[in-house]
Amino acid sequence: MSALAWRPARAPIDAFLDWGAQAHGSTRPLALMRIALAVLTFVRFGAELSLYQGDSLSFLLLGVAFFALVTMMLVGYMAQAACAGVAIMLATMYFYMGHVLGQPGWGAHHIYILLAGVSLLALSPCGRSYSVDRYRELMRGRETPERRPLWAQRLIALQLGALYFWTAVDKTNWSFLSGERLEQAFTWTYTGRALEPLLAMGPLLPALAVVVVLVEYALAFAIFVRPWRAFVLPMGLALHATFYVLLPVNTYSATMMALYLALLDPDAAHRFLDRMQGHGVPAHRL
Amino acid sequence: MTMTFDSPHCAPAVARPRSARRVAFAALATFILLGPAPGQLFGAHSMFLREWVMFAGAGIGLPKGRFTLHRPDGALVLSPLEVVALPSFMTLPLERRIFEPADVKAFAARLCGDAGEGARLSFEGSVATFTGWRPLAVDDVCGGSAKAQFGEAGK
């Protein structure tokens, strides 16, 4: 095959790799994600891993490691190492305890998206902002620039796009588009509950199913188009808010909402936070 | 190997090989973007390749329709939720769901144990499957559900 034949394919790939691998910007959105995912990890596992739940030495050790590492992640002390530790722990819980041992709920998708998010944060300079690490550097009089490589943040954005695309693929069949799978899900959640009349929505269920699939396909691509984000991000947040109040999604919706920080222009987010905190405005200084 | 600084705005103390980051980004991006494909497109499932099939199994194995307890003193119609005597299906264990027609007996185990002699339990309705609702009629849930068959989906 001639070299010319590869050109059309190589150019987009190069552009894609440049977009991802050469990304630079403020680390504040990453830091906010780190804090949010640490809180969500506490919310999801704190009760189950509290020391009073321990029925073996290994479970107690897991609990101790959990609280130590997630606290470090939350406050940003040795932030990347803490994220790596939390990621290894979540991977153990998801793969071994969830899938191999069958611990109920630990092999679920809301745990995997938490694991994916924390793993990618471990590859990012998420301790450069809003962290004990930054405070210590400043106390030592060192320069601590908040503009750093953001290739891991791009990967988080790709994870969101991939999730939307593949979940839409899973729903692109007659059993979902006819509304039957939604009715089945609602039968599971609402039978015997006050909102049981939802099951009698009839023709509205196929319409709702079609809307869900269209929105998910749209989000898979539109979240990467900067001019569309002003409309697309609220739409995605509304979708997750709807899931949160209608279905037992656990921490899934909140995790996805936190990961939306990866879709923001990091420098614009940085400037926004400066404005909100009154930097540069003398009247706001103490 | 080409060495380059990351950005004119923020030159790191140590120059990094730009190509290494591109390779790492490409590898992880491929995993993230195409990881679900083997399982979702070709049925080659692996716990290491997460498939995004959220709530695909929600409600599978639950019946809708009516159970009828035929007693000597008259028939008593019960909803599926009344049969399992739970406040919600969300607390129904997986082993009591109906994945095969014969599983109706396990679903109605409480009534099959309590119905007593002379009472017969029947079911008429449909059951949630991965391909939609499948009609199911069982004349004797406790005694003869093993012979029952699902009807065609969508009928």
Tens-place pLDDT, residues A8-43: 556 888 899 999 999 999 999 999 999 999 999 999
Query: CA A81 to CA B115: how far, in whole Å?
Result: 61
Q: Is the pLDDT of residue A249 over 60?
A: yes
The torsion region of residue A141 among left (phi > 0), alpha (psi -120 to 50) and beta comes to left
Contacts of A175 in chain B (CB under 8 A): 130-132, 153
Indicate the residue type of A195. L
Q: A94 and A112 in contact (C-beta within 8 Å)? A: yes
Q: Is the pLDDT of residue B120 over 70?
A: yes
If pLDDT is split at 50, 70 and 90, which confidence band does A58 have?
Answer: confident
Contacts of A184 in chain B (CB under 8 A): 58-60, 62, 128, 133
Q: A53 and A63 in contact (C-beta within 8 Å)? A: yes
Query: Given CB atoms, is A10 within the 8 Å cutoff of chain B?
Result: no
Please tell me whether residue B67 adopts helix, strand or coil conformation.
Answer: strand
Residue A35 in tokens:
């804090």
Q: Is the pLDDT of residue A135 over 90?
A: yes
- Give the C-alpha distances (Å, rounded to integers) separating A270 from A78, A264, B135: 22, 10, 57
Which residues, at least 6 apart from A246, have a Cβ–Cβ distance to it below 8 Å? A189
Query: Given CB atoms, is A112 within the 8 Å cutoff of chain B?
Result: yes
Which residue does chain B place closest to A190, by CA atoms? B88
How many other C-beta atoms lie within 10 A of the C-beta of residue B27? 10
Give the A window 154-183 contacts with B, CB below 8 Å. 154-155, 158-159, 161-163, 166-167, 169-170, 174-175, 178, 180-181, 183
| Beta strand residue intervals within chain A, DSSP E | 24-26, 147-149
pLDDT tens for A144-168 read 899 999 999 999 999 999 999 999 9
Q: Is the pLDDT of residue B68 over 50?
A: yes
Give the number of C-alpha atoms closer than 13 A to the C-alpha of residue A199, restricted to the C-beta side: 16
Query: CA B91 to CA B114: how far, in whole Å?
Result: 21
How many other C-beta atoms lie within 10 A of the C-beta of residue A142? 9
What are the helix and strand counts (H, E) for chain B?
6, 6
With an 8 Å Cβ cutoff, are A192 and B87 in contact?
Answer: yes
Q: Which of B40, B48, B81 sits opposite A169 (nearest CB)?
A: B40
Q: A272 and A282 in contact (C-beta within 8 Å)? A: no
pLDDT at residue B13 in the model: 40
The mean of the pLDDT values for chain A is 91
Q: Is the pLDDT of residue A174 over 60?
A: yes
High-pLDDT (> 90) share of chain A, %: 71
Query: CA A87 to CA A237: how far, in whole Å?
Result: 25
CA angle A139–A65–A37, rounded 5-degree value: 65
pLDDT at residue B11 in the model: 41
Contacts of B153 in chain A (CB under 8 A): 175
pLDDT at residue A64 in the model: 94
If pLDDT is split at 50, 70 and 90, which confidence band does B140 have?
Answer: confident
| Across A111-120, A276-285, B34-43, least confident range | A276-285
Q: A232 and A219 in contact (C-beta within 8 Å)? A: yes
With an 8 Å Cβ cutoff, are A20 and B36 in contact?
Answer: no
High-pLDDT (> 70) share of chain A, %: 95
With an 8 Å Cβ cutoff, are A147 and B86 in contact?
Answer: no
Query: CA B48 to CA A107: how far, in whole Å?
Result: 11
Which residues, at least 6 apart from A27, have a Cβ–Cβ distance to it below 8 Å? A124, A125, A126, A128, A129, A146, A147, A148, A150, A266
The mean of the pLDDT values for chain B is 82
Handedness of CA A265, A115, A244, A205 (dihedral sign): positive
CA angle A130–A131–A135, rounded 5-degree value: 105
Query: CA A51 to CA B14: how far, in whole Å?
Result: 43
Residue A277 in tokens:
């905190």
Which residue does chain B place closest to A184, by CA atoms? B59
Contacts of B62 in chain A (CB under 8 A): 184, 187-188, 191
Q: Is the pLDDT of residue B42 over 80?
A: yes
pLDDT at residue B30 in the model: 96
Q: What is the mean pLDDT of residues A121-146?
A: 94
Query: Given CB atoms, is B49 within the 8 Å cutoff of chain A?
Result: no
pLDDT at residue A3 in the model: 42
Query: CA A56 to CA A110: how far, in whole Å?
Result: 26
Query: CA B14 to CA A44: how far, in whole Å?
Result: 39
Interface predicted TM-score (ipTM): 0.89
Q: For residue B76, which phi and psi values (nearest 5 degrees)?
A: -125, 120
With an 8 Å Cβ cutoff, are A20 and B130 in contact?
Answer: no
Q: Is the pLDDT of residue A175 over 80?
A: yes
pLDDT at residue A19 in the model: 92
Q: A164 and A219 in contact (C-beta within 8 Å)? A: yes
pLDDT at residue A147 in the model: 92
Which residues, at least 6 apart from A140, have a Cβ–Cβ distance to it below 8 Å? none
Q: B50 and A180 in contact (C-beta within 8 Å)? A: no
Contacts of B14 in chain A (CB under 8 A): none
Q: Is the pLDDT of residue A285 over 80?
A: no
Q: B48 and B36 in contact (C-beta within 8 Å)? A: no
Query: Given CB atoms, is B29 within the 8 Å cutoff of chain A?
Result: yes
Query: CA B3 to CA B12: how far, in whole Å?
Result: 12
Residue A100 in tokens:
């191999």
Q: For residue A121, which phi and psi values (nearest 5 degrees)?
A: -65, -35
